[in-house]
Structure 1
Amino acid sequence: MTEKMIENNKVGVIGVIVSDFTFSHEVFGEGFYMVDVAVNRLSEQTDIIPLMISERLLDVHQDYKGQTIEAVGQFRSYNRHEGTRNRLVLSIFVREIQMIEEFTDYTKTNQIYLDGYICKEPVYRKTPLGREIADLLVAVNRPYGKSDYIPCIAWGRNARYASSFAIGSRIRIWGRVQSREYTKKVNEEEVERRIAYEVSVSKLEYVEN
C-alpha cells in the first residue's frame, strides 16, 4: 500500500470501550472484530463510534469495557445488503491501538482528515432556527481501485461554500467523526431507531485539479 493512499484518509480517536468484541469477517486467516468506543465532545455530549480491529492488534477475547484507548486508522465504508436495498456501513479501520491511563487534552480526542471527491450533488438547507447546513458525500480513494464513501456535514459559511461544489470536485476536509440517532420507518407499523455516522466538518478547502 502506498503511503500516499494512506495519507488521504487519517483518523484518530481517544475514548472508552463500551461493548464486547463481535466478529465481523476474516481475510486470509486474519479475523476482524467490531467494538464500540465512547468519545467525548467538548460540549459534554458523547459519540459512540464503531472500530474494526484485527485480532493481531489486540486480544479480542478479553473484556476491555471501561478502558480508555487511543486508536489511529482510516474511516471506511462498505455496502451491506439488506433485502432489496444496500445500506452504507461506516467504521474506523484501526491500524494502531494503545491503552492509555489518562489524558487531559480533550481537543484531540477525535480528529479526521480526508482528501477526496464530491460524488453526489451537495444538499444545502437551513434549520428552523436559520442555521445553514450542507450534506456532502465524499469518495476517498483506496488502493486496488476501491473507494470509501463518507457522508460529511458542513455548517455556516462552510455549508454555503460547499453548496457550490460540482460532482467530481476534489476537496480536503478536517473535522471529527460523529454519531447521530434517527428513526426509520420500516413498514406501516414498525419504526426503527438507528445510528448514522458522518464527518462534522470544521475546515474544508477546494483543490484545483
Structure 2
Amino acid sequence: MPEKIMENNKVTVIGEIISGFTFSHEVFGEGFYLTEISINRLSDQTDVIPLLISERLIDITGDYAGMLVEATGQFRSYNRHEGTKNRLVLSVFVREIAFLEEFNDYTKTNQIFLDGYICKAPIYRKTPLGREIADLLVAVNRPYGKSDYIPCIAWGRNARYASGFEVGSRICVWGRVQSREYVKRINETESEKRVAYEVSVSKLEWVE
C-alpha cells in the first residue's frame, strides 16, 4: 500500500472495550468484526466508538469487556443500503491493537489526522447562544480508487474559516472522533434514537 495514502488518514484511540464482537464482512477469507470502546473526554463525557477489526489481529471469541486497549488505524466509511436510501456508516478500521495495564494521559486517548478534499459546500450556522459551527464532509482517498467520506464539525474561529472553503479544496484536519446521539424522524408518528460519528476539529488548514 502506498505510504502516502496511509498517511492521509491516521487515528489512535485508547478506551475500554464495552461489547462483544459481531460479524461485519469477509474479504478473501479474512473475517472482520465490530466491537465498541468507551473513551473518556476531559469534560467527563464519553464517546462510544466502533472498531472494525480483523480476526487475524485478535481472538474474536474472547471476552475482553472492561479491558483497556490502544487501537491505531484509519477512520473509514461505507454506504449501507436501507430500503431506498443509503446510510453512511463509520468505524475505526484497526491496523494495530494492544492491551494496556493502565493509562493516565487522557489528552492522548483520541487523536485523528485527515488530509482530504471538501466534497460538499460547508454548512455554517450559529447556535441560539451565538456559538459558531460549521459542518464539513471531507473525502479522503484510499488505494484502488476508493474514498472515505468523513463528517467533520468545526467550532468558533475554525468554523468561520471553514465556511469559506470551496468544494474541491484540499484541507488537513486534526481533532478527535466523537459520538453524538440524535433523533431520526421515520414518519409523521415515529422516530428513533441513533448515534452519529464525526470528527470534532481542533485545527484545520487549507492546502494550496
Alignment of 1:33-72 (within 5 A): 33-72=33-72
Tell me whether 182-191 or 149-158 shows the greater mean CA deviation. 182-191
* 1:94-143 CA-partner distances (Å, limit 9, x unpaired): 00000000011000000000000000000000001000000000000000
User: In the alignment, which residue of structure 2 is the partner of 1:170?
Assistant: 170
User: In the alignment, which residue of structure 1 is the partner of 2:86?
Assistant: 86
| Corresponding residue SS for 2:144 | helix
Query: What amino acid sits opposite 2:145 in the alignment?
Result: G
* 1:148-186 CA-partner distances (Å, limit 9, x unpaired): 000000000000000000000000000000000000111
| Corresponding residue SS for 2:128 | coil
Query: What amino acid sits opposite 1:92 in the alignment?
Result: V
Cα RMSD after superposing both structures:
0.4
Corresponding pairs, count: 208
Structure 2: unaligned runs, 5 residues or longer: none
Alignment of 1:90-169 (within 5 A): 90-169=90-169
Structure 1: unaligned runs, 5 residues or longer: none
Runs of 4+ deviating beyond 3 Å: none
1:190 CA drift (Å): 1.5
1:188 CA drift (Å): 2.0
Alignment of 1:173-192 (within 5 A): 173-192=173-192
* % identical aligned pairs: 77
* 1:52-108 CA-partner distances (Å, limit 9, x unpaired): 000000000111010000000000000000000000000000000000000110000
1:189 CA drift (Å): 2.0
Query: What amino acid sits opposite 2:28 in the alignment?
Result: F
Distance across 2 between alignment mates of 1:189 and 1:142: 41
